[in-house]
Amino acid sequence: MTLDAPPTAASPLAIICGGGSLPRAVAEAVDRTGRRCVLFAIRGWAEPAAVAAFPHHWIDLGRYGRFRRLMQAEGCRDVVFIGSVLRPSVSHIRLDWETIRVLPDVWRAFHGGDNHLLSGVGRVLGGHGYRLIGAHEVAPDILVPEGPLGRLAPSPRDMADITLALELLRATSPYDVGQGTVVADRHVLALEAAEGTDRMLDRVADLRQQGRIRTKPGVGVLVKAAKVGQDHRFDLPTIGPKTVEGVARAELAGLAVVAGATIMAEPQEIVRKANAAGVFAVGVRSPQP
């Protein structure tokens, strides 16, 4: 924690933490703006190391009453939800009374994809006077800017692959599929669904090793884009150093994401790894009208 930044008048920010390193990155970025954070680490999802450096509470899914009391005690009004989530196994959740009261709303949210699930959580929080805001609103420097992040930039062929990939992701968007694809010389090599980006990249690396990909190493792009109409408050695509490693292992030219609508974890590490591996990482404009 930096102690030299002046505290703002605002109430402390509640950060509900899912898995991965993003909660910590967001907390650090908010901390740099001088605002106090309180982390609510979801048991089973959040990583102890990601929350240890900040004031934090461990919370359980299904214990909404306890969460509300902690929020009150901490004086929090604004809530950010960040980190990876897994669809919970319903049989492992023990419910408290307040949760049972809000359950019908949450239950409706369970049907449909991730987007709907989190929208439901947002509705419940909003109905109780909390303001669910996006991580990018409190820590704008975690968003990928436009242009290359590292030393390398995409070639015209890469740009053609990126354009095709963004069109494809737009076409699959209404079906709540994943947010990533790999396109090489205008061939779609992989489309992401439940497996996630890292496994999709592993698959491309495997296919390449097995000689099932005929485009040369160094050709092809990973492209990630938010779903059309996606609520930016809790479900932006994310890249991190691991993404760059996956791109390098799959022997692609680089990765492209939508500038201003993608979160980056550990930007310095992204740049360092991209430069070391000879791949580009670029923020591009959204093709949306």
Residues that bind a copy of itself (CB under 8 A): 86-89, 111-113, 164, 167-168, 171-172, 174-178, 181-182, 186-195, 199, 203-204, 207, 211-214
Whichever of 43 and 212 has its CB closer to a copy of itself, that residue is 212
Q: Which of 233, 199, 234, 198 is nearest to 83 (CA)?
A: 234
Whichever of 73 and 171 has its CB closer to a copy of itself, that residue is 171
Whichever of 158 and 192 has its CB closer to a copy of itself, that residue is 192
- Nearest approach, Cβ of 158 to a copy of itself (angstroms)? 16
Report whether 145 contacts 259 (CB < 8 A).
Answer: yes
- Nearest approach, Cβ of 244 to a copy of itself (angstroms)? 21
- Nearest approach, Cβ of 271 to a copy of itself (angstroms)? 29
- Nearest approach, Cβ of 200 to a copy of itself (angstroms)? 9
Whichever of 138 and 201 has its CB closer to a copy of itself, that residue is 201
Q: Where are the alpha helices (DSSP H) in the chain?
A: 22-32, 48-51, 64-74, 97-110, 114-127, 135-138, 156-172, 197-209, 241-249, 267-277
Residue whose structure tokens are 């990928």: 144
- Nearest approach, Cβ of 214 to a copy of itself (angstroms)? 4
Whichever of 101 and 214 has its CB closer to a copy of itself, that residue is 214
Structure tokens at 211: 């000689």
Whichever of 9 and 194 has its CB closer to a copy of itself, that residue is 194
Q: Which of 144, 210, 212 is nearest to 184 (CA)?
A: 212
- Nearest approach, Cβ of 275 to a copy of itself (angstroms)? 28
Residue whose structure tokens are 């820590």: 139
- Nearest approach, Cβ of 109 to a copy of itself (angstroms)? 14
In terms of C-beta density within 10 A (0-12 exposed, 13-18 middle, 19 or more buried), how is residue 88 classed?
Answer: middle
Whichever of 68 and 116 has its CB closer to a copy of itself, that residue is 116
CA distances from 113 to 54, 175, 230 (A): 31, 9, 11
Q: Which of 267, 212, 220 is nearest to 247 (CA)?
A: 220
- Nearest approach, Cβ of 63 to a copy of itself (angstroms)? 20
Whichever of 70 and 207 has its CB closer to a copy of itself, that residue is 207
Pairing mode of beta strands 56-59, 37-42: parallel
Residue 113: CB atoms within 10 A of its CB come to: 14
CA distances from 116 to 40, 121, 229, 266, 276 (A): 22, 9, 12, 28, 39
